[in-house]
Amino acid sequence: MLLFRPVGKAELELIEKTNFTAFPPRLPEQPIFYPVLNKKYAEEIAQRWNTRDINSQNKGYVLKFEVEDTYISQFEVQTVGNSYHQELWIPAEELENFNRFIIGKIAVIKAFE
């Protein structure tokens, strides 16, 4: 399954440290990891939220990556607004395992400032 992830500068730097092969552990106040199902929604978040967030250093990035279909099928698609606002809810304690099912590299496909 092809997925997208909007991130700020700090999270991108942590992903870079893994050679673009894994997402960093969630912070204690972040119990869920939210990859999204389409580029449009990821761009919306990166541009509208990350560029206005000091913790993101006012930068937003859209990442694209692939996850093994059989593994990812255990998570239900959640629609959280408009019909294209679709995401998966991965519990924070599952993220290390999730990373094992990423196929290839995580790619930066768009940047916003």
Q: Per-residue DSSP letters for 28-69? A: TT--EE--BS-HHHHHHHHHHTGGG-GGGTT-EEEEEEEE-H
Q: How far apart are CA 81 and CA 107, in angstroms?
A: 26
Give residue-wise pLDDT tens across range 82-106. Answer: 999 999 999 999 999 999 999 999 9
Q: How far apart are CA 97 and CA 63, in angstroms?
A: 19
pTM exceeds 0.85: yes
Q: Where are the domains of the chain?
A: 2-112
CATH code, residues 2-112: 3.20.170.30
Give residue-wise pLDDT tens across range 9-61. Answer: 999 999 999 999 999 999 899 999 999 999 999 999 998 877 776 766 678 89
